[in-house]
Homo-oligomer: A and B are copies of this chain.
Amino acid sequence: MVNSKPRPADNVTNGLYNQDILTVRQFTPELVDYVFGVADEMRTLVERFGSADLLQGKIMANLFYEPSTRTSSSFMAAMQRLGGQVIPINSVKYSSVSKGESLADTVRTLECYADVIVLRHYEVGAAAEAAHWASKPIINAGDGVGEHPTQALLDAYTIQRELGRMENLTVGMLGDLRFGRTVHSLTRLLLNRDVTFRFVSPRLLRMPEEIRDEVTNAGDTFTEHRDVMEIIDEVDVLYVTRVQKERFTDLADYERVKDIYVITPEVLANAKEKMVVMHPLPRVGEIAYEVDQDPRAAYFRQMQNGVFTRMALLAAVLGRA
C-alpha cells in the first residue's frame, strides 16, 4: 500500500518523507501545492547556482526494465543537480533478472546500495510490488499501461507555471486517449478543480470508461470529439499525444484519421492567444516543427519542468525538502 513506510516522529513536516511515489491518487491538492512550491525553489536554485548539494552523499538507483532515455536522463539530471549520485541499470539484459531473479529480490538488493529506487517496468503494478518489499522509497517511473505519476505532476506543474493556475480551465486532450497513460494520470490530477475536459480521439482510442466515470463522479464535465477543430478555439491547454499506427488493425482506419491529429500553425491560428500546447515527447510528426517557434508551444519547457519536479520529489522523499 501507499504511504505505509515508517516515518520518524520528529520535525519532518512534509508528507512524502520516506514514502513511495506510486500513483497520482496519493497526491491531495495540498500535497500537489507543496511539491510545486519545492519545484519552484529548485528552479531558483538551478537558475542561480546550477546545482545544489542537498542530496550530497545520497545514491539513487535508476532501475529501468524497459528503455526510456528521456525519463531516465531526467531523473538522473534531477539527482545530479542536487549533488547526489546515480547507479544506472538500463536494461533487463544486464540485470540479474535475466538469471531469473524476482523483482522483490532485485529491489531488496538495490536498497542495500542506494537510498531511493526509481523503477520503470513493463508490468502494471510492478512499482507497488517493489514498494511492498523495499524499506526505502520507490518512485514509479511508469509501470506498463498503469501509472506514471511524476509525468502527471510535471504536466500539471507546467500548466500551473504557464497559465498561473490549475483551476477553472478548459483542457483538451488529443490523440491516443485509450492507451496513453499520461493523459489518464493528468486527468485524475486535475479532478475537483473546475476543469472542463475535451477529449479528442479516433473512436478506437477513446478515453476509457473508467476515467470518464471518474470525471463525472468528481462533478467535473467532459465532452468527446473526433476533430481538434471542434475545440481548438476554447481550450486553455491542448495536450497532444501520438496516435500510433500499431493500434489499428485496419490500416485504412489509420490513414483516414491520422492527419486530423497533427497540430500545425494553421490549427493554432484558431486557438486563444493565451493557451499552451503540451506533449510528453517524443513526437513523430503529430506537432509540426513550425509550431516550435510559437510562444504557446510549451513542450520543451515541460521537459525542463520535469527536472524541477523530480528534484522536488527526490528531495522530499529523502527528507531534504
Stretch in A108-116, A201-209, A229-237 touching the partner:
A108-116
Q: In chain A between 259 and 317, which residues have their CB closer than 8 angstroms to a CB of chain B? A: 281-284, 289, 300, 303-304, 306-307
A140 to chain B, nearest CB (A): 20
Bound state CA distance, A106 and B261, in angstroms?
A: 22
Residue from B57, B61, B98 in contact with A73 in the complex, judged by beta carbons closer than 8 Å: B61
Taking CB atoms, residues of chain B closer than 8 Å to A106 are 282
- Oligomeric state, in number of copies? 3
Bound state CA distance, A157 and B300, in angstroms?
A: 39
Q: Looking at A73, A110, A289, which has the most chain B CB atoms within 10 Å of its CB?
A: A73
Closest to A110 in B: B73
Taking CB atoms, residues of chain B closer than 8 Å to A114 are 77
Q: List 26 A-B contacts (CB under 8 A).
A: A49-B57, A50-B58, A51-B56, A51-B57, A51-B59, A52-B57, A57-B83, A59-B81, A67-B93, A67-B95, A67-B98, A69-B89, A69-B96, A73-B113, A74-B112, A77-B113, A77-B114, A96-B282, A101-B282, A101-B283, A104-B289, A108-B300, A109-B303, A112-B303, A112-B304, A113-B307
